[in-house]
Amino acid sequence: MAINRAAAHGGPLVHGPSHPQIIDKTFGVLLREQAKTRWSSPLVVSNHQNRTLTYAEADKRSDHLARGLATVGVRKGDRVAIMMGNMVEYVELFYACAKLGALITLANHGYSEQKFHSVLSSCGSSVLVMVPGFDRYDYDPWIPHLRKNIKGLKHIIMVDREDRHSLSGSYQDLIATGETYLLDLDAIEETLDPNNILNLQCTSGSTGYPKASTLTHGEIYNAGRFISDTMYLEVTDRACTSVTLFHSFWLIIDLAVVSAHGASIVLPGTVFNVEETLASVTKNRCTGIYGVTTMFVAGISHPHFQSYDMPSLPKIVDPATNLMMPWGQKREIVLRGYGVQREYYKNEEGHVDPEGYFVITGRIKDMIIRGGENIAPLEIEERLMAHPAVAQCAVIGIPDQRYGGQMAAFVKTRTMQILVRFKQPKYVWWLGGREEYMVWPKAASGKLRKPDLRVIGRRFLDEGCVPGQISARL
DSSP 260-329: HHT-EEEE--SS--HHHHHHHHHHHT-SEEE--HHHHHHHHHSTTGGGS--TTSPPPEETTTTEEPPTT-
Cα 59 to Cα 96, 191, 304, 358, distances in angstroms: 9, 19, 39, 40
SS3 at position 364: helix
Asked if omega into 12 is within 30° of 0 (cis), the reply is: no
Cα–Cα distance for residue pair 405/377, rounded to 1 Å: 12
Write the single-letter amino acid at 181.
Answer: Y
Which string of b and e fits 322-350 if b means at least 16 CB within 10 Å? eeeeeeeeeeeeeeeeebeeeeeeeeebb
Question: Is the pTM value of this prediction over 0.85?
Answer: no
Q: Which of 426, 452, 447 is nearest to 437 (CA)?
A: 452
Please state the domain extents for the chain.
Answer: 17-301, 369-462
What CATH topology corresponds to 17-301? Rossmann fold (3.40.50)
Distance CA 193, CA 189 (A): 8
Distance CA 108, CA 94 (A): 15
CATH number of 369-462: 3.30.300.30
Q: What pLDDT tens digit does each residue of the chain (474 aa) get?
A: 455 555 565 555 556 667 778 889 999 999 999 999 999 999 999 999 999 999 999 999 999 999 999 999 999 999 999 999 999 999 999 999 999 999 999 998 888 888 899 899 989 999 999 999 999 899 988 988 888 888 889 999 999 765 565 556 789 999 999 999 999 999 999 999 999 999 998 876 555 567 788 899 999 999 999 988 888 889 999 999 989 999 888 999 999 999 999 999 999 999 999 999 999 999 999 999 998 878 888 888 888 988 988 888 765 555 566 565 555 454 444 444 434 444 333 334 444 455 544 455 455 567 788 766 778 788 788 888 888 878 888 999 888 877 788 889 998 876 445 565 667 777 877 766 666 667 778 887 777 888 888 888 888 888 776 554 444 444
